[in-house]
Amino acid sequence: MNRFLSKDFLSGLMFIGFGLLDIYFGQKLAIGTTVRMGPGYVPRMLALIMMGLGALICVVALVTEGEPVDRIKWKPITLVTIGIICFALLFERAGLLPALVVLVLISSLGGEEFKLTEVIGNMVALAIICTLVFKVGLGMNISIVQGIW
């Protein structure tokens, strides 16, 4: 089997690609220092970590025998992407809670099996955790539901 066409190697390349895209689009953001971080510090560090992990995954994939790529599954890729786009469009207009509900619902449709009770459980858990972390814990100025809270 060609090790360059294994799932692990291609996943590592994807991590490196996303890291490079992040660095490219965030290059105009001020980085600052570790003590006084600018708006580009965390995205840059996350991009570097992602690229490092991608490189590590690629090296491991070249050394070990990996699972070959059979065919690309377009349904999960498409529905997760649509879910993220809907989240981005709804976040400011409707608030965090409706955006999370739409994200989880649409992304869940891309899976092999869809169980409504599990999806609702994921929505509730994610809504509670995000509200506690971002609104209560960090005190961010975001709307949970636009016009209400």
Query: What stretches of 28-110 show up as alpha helix (H) in DSSP?
Result: 41-63, 74-94, 96-108
By the 8 A CB rule, do 8 and 66 touch? Answer: yes
What tens digit of pLDDT does each residue of 2-52 get? 767 788 888 999 999 999 999 999 888 888 888 888 888 888 999 999 999
Domain boundaries, the chain: 3-63, 74-137
What confidence score (pLDDT) does residue 144 get?
85
What confidence score (pLDDT) does residue 113 get?
86
What percentage of residues in the chain have a pLDDT greater than 70? 97
What confidence score (pLDDT) does residue 111 get?
84
What confidence score (pLDDT) does residue 44 get?
92
Q: Is the pLDDT of residue 86 over 90?
A: yes
Burial 91-104 (b: 16+ CB within 10 A, else e): beebbbbbbbbbbb
The model's pTM is 0.65
Alpha carbons within 13 A on the beta-carbon side of 51: 14
